[in-house]
Amino acid sequence: MKRTSSWNGNDLRDMFAAGSNWLEKSVADINAINVFPVPDGDTGTNMLLTLRSVIEEADRANDNTTSVMAKAMSHGALLGARGNSGVILSQIFRGLSRGLDGKDTFNGVDWMKAMVLAAKTAREGLSNPVEGTILTVIRDASMAAQKQAEKHPDNLIDIVEAAVNEARESVARTPNLLPALREAGVVDAGGLGLYVILDGALRYLKGEIEELQSRKPQMVSASMPATKNINLIPTEEEEAYGYCTNFLLEGENLDPEKIRRKLDGRGQSLVVAGDETNVRVHIHTYDPGSILAYATSLGTLHQIQIQNMDDQHVGFKEMQRQRSALQGDTAVVAVAFGEGMIKVFESLGAVVVRGGQTMNPSVKEILSVVNSLDTSKVIILPNNKNIVLTAAQIKELTQKQVEMIPSRTLPQGVTALLTYNYESPIEENVANMNEAIKRVKSVEITKAARSTQVNGMKIKQGQIIGIIDDSDLVACGDSVMGVLMDSLAKAGIEPAEVITLYYGADINPHDAEKAAQALRGKYPNKQIDVVNGGQPHYFYIAAVE
């Protein structure tokens, strides 16, 4: 591309379109470096889906001036933001838009000033900013851009290149700033995603179109020095969209492990559980027809559910309106996943946005549900630490009074909802619900998606792990029941009165009841309840109250 001192809104859009395409090639790699080896690390996916919304909104802009395009991109980022990484990315775009406000075109200095404001805006958007994250990377990159602009103020390419080089080095340093990253042997996933985006934008500016199309970014790791080299690896696209496909297969001499191997690689979030006569299958796939065709060759299908994950809220609006009519002037919107968990929230009167692990809903999806309700006041329960920031954006985007309870787990959401009183004013309910989530501990039992080291424990891929309150990995082993018992003990179960055990899609009711009996035997003075949560990925989610 020809070097120039002046760039317009179309150039700004195309820079980030290239960054989006570059990021898409790295989604699986970025998802894989979560500190916790849980099977739902989705930082890369969330950043990609947020960027896609940015480009879609930019394409609709009717003016190619820099200011108009930047505002459109910022709006798209906000509506499309998913997960913590997506929300922070939207804050970065908000800062860029503020920095480019009023400009028809932009040069190197303009870009540098916008980068500095982007770093400042992203940090201001968090109540407790943490070093060693995407916040550190955007700050370091903006400072490098600032230094380069002092030497060559009009050369956008040189300024962006300085920012990219520093972003790469900053990502490599993140394990030195966050002990959890250092122990796990990974870099910060959000920071890595940002570096890849900026690197893609730089390659567009430099005219490296062939490399963008035929090559793949090299990941920066904690164990290697940062490098500018790229791998000559063909692109393997990550399927970010598709159909959530669930069914029960009934037959004779079924082999769940063989079925799992057959379906492995034909979609994402695969769960296969059952025995010789009944097998439950859950998979996210572009081609549900081929999955069903294979399954029907083995037996009879029941309880078939196929849902477009990009249109999850469609079909629920009428139900939401009906429910809201029973809730006076306030409705409660809860994010949940797993058919059983969804039924729990719906039975308590909440309007459910389907999402959670592996499927963080966007700001736009939650906003659509909030605006579809007939009530003037709405309380949101995100029920996932990676959705809290997303839910917090809704308040500024609607004329309704919106309050968000920072529930980080499904049990916290259930407990908060149980304290809700339809006859009380919203302020009183919010105060009571905030207090309620402090009284419950959540224990999640899942399988390690990769080998790592966390909290001094060496964890092998495939081992069972236990996590308390979505933040503290406390146990690992080869037995689901053993890890459950160990994790509950470490959750401080002694003063608790009630333990509610939500069993997942790959646990049959008989095994769940055996687990409950074991708990009753060990804790005879406590109330042990068993509920079919139906959640994928997690064998058990326990609420300790």
| Same domain assignment for residues 25 and 151 | yes
Here the tokens at position 465 are: 């792990």
Q: Does residue 223 sit within a domain?
A: no
Same domain, 202 and 125: yes
Number of domains present in the structure of the chain:
4
74 and 180 belong to one structural domain:
yes
Residue type for position 133:
T
Both 420 and 499 in a single domain?
Answer: no
> 116 CB contacts (<8 Å, ≥6 apart)?
99, 142, 143, 145, 146
Question: Span 187-200, mean pLDDT?
Answer: 94
3-state SS of 468-496 is ECCCEEEEEECCHHHHHHHHHHHCCCCCC
Do 519 and 374 share a domain, yes or no?
A: no
**Average pLDDT of every residue of the chain:** 85
State whether 319 and 416 are in the same domain: yes
- How confident is the model at residue 309, as a pLDDT? 56
Same domain, 152 and 135: yes
pLDDT digits (tens, 9 = 90+) for 89-98: 999 999 999 9
Q: 187: which DSSP letter?
A: -
From 415, 436, 457, the end of a domain falls on 436
CATH number at residue 461: 3.30.1180
Residue 225 lies in a domain: no
- Residue 172 placed within a domain: yes
Q: Is the dihedral of CA 335, 337, 339, 345 positive or negative?
A: negative
pLDDT for 222 equals 65
Task: Report yes or no on 251 lying in a domain.
Answer: yes
Number of H helices, E strands in the chain: 21, 16
pLDDT of 322 strictly over 70: no
Do 169 and 297 reside in the same domain of the chain? no
Token digits for 209? 């179109």
Task: Look at residues 436, 462, 480 and tell me which one is the last residue of a structural domain.
Answer: 436
- Overall residue count recorded for the chain in this entry: 545
For residue 16, give the H/E element and its range. helix 9-24
Instruction: Based on the fold, state whether residues 268 and 126 are members of the same structural domain.
Output: no
CA angle, 339 then 342 then 346, to 5°: 135
Residue 269 is assigned to a structural domain of this protein: yes
pLDDT at 274 over 70: no
Kindly report the CATH number assigned to the domain that includes residue 138: 1.25.40.340
Could you tell me the pTM of the whole model?
0.71
Compute CA distances 458 → 184, 189, 451, 539, whole Å.
9, 21, 8, 21
pLDDT at residue 220, as a whole number: 84
Report yes or no on 363 lying in a domain.
yes
Q: Tell me, what DSSP letter sits at residue 103?
A: -
Residue 520 token pair = 């009753």
410: domain CATH number? 3.40.50.510
Q: List pLDDT tens digits, range 129-158.
A: 889 999 999 999 999 999 999 988 888 999
446 compared with 230, residue with greater pLDDT: 446
Phi, psi of 124 (to 5 degrees): -65, -20
Residue 43 domain-assigned (yes or no): yes
> For residue 417, how many other CB atoms are within 10 A of its CB?
23
Neighbours of 52 (CB within 10 A): 18
Say which residues have a Cβ less than 8 Å from residue 23's Cβ, sequence separation at least 6.
30, 44, 47, 48, 51, 193, 196, 197, 200
Last residue of some domain: 310, 338, 353?
310
Residue 398, amino acid: T
Please indicate, yes or no, whether residues 287 and 317 belong to a single structural domain of this protein: no
**pLDDT of the residue at 56:** 93
Q: Which domain holds residue 87?
A: 9-214
Give residue 15's pLDDT: 95
φ, ψ (nearest 5 deg) of residue 366: -70, -40
Tell which residue, 280, 290, 278, has the closest CA to residue 243: 290
Q: Which pLDDT score is estimated for 324?
A: 42
Res. 365: pLDDT tops 80 = yes
Q: Give residue 82's pLDDT band: very low, low, confident or very high (50, 70, 90).
A: confident
- Mean pLDDT to the nearest integer, 60-88: 91
Q: Are 201 and 271 in a shared domain?
A: no
For the chain, percent of residues with pLDDT exceeding 70: 87
What's the pLDDT band for 376 if we cut at 50, 70, 90? very high
pLDDT at 323 over 70: no
* pLDDT value, residue 489: 92
239, two tokens: 């399927």
Residues 38 and 152 in one domain: yes
Asked if the structure places residue 4 within a domain, the reply is no
Question: Which of 171-185, 212-226, 293-307, 391-405 is the least confident region?
Answer: 212-226
The per-residue pLDDT for 312 is: 42
Q: 């009711």: which residue's tokens?
A: 509
Q: How far apart are CA 353 and CA 331, in angstroms?
A: 13
Least confident residue range of 209-218, 412-421, 484-493: 209-218
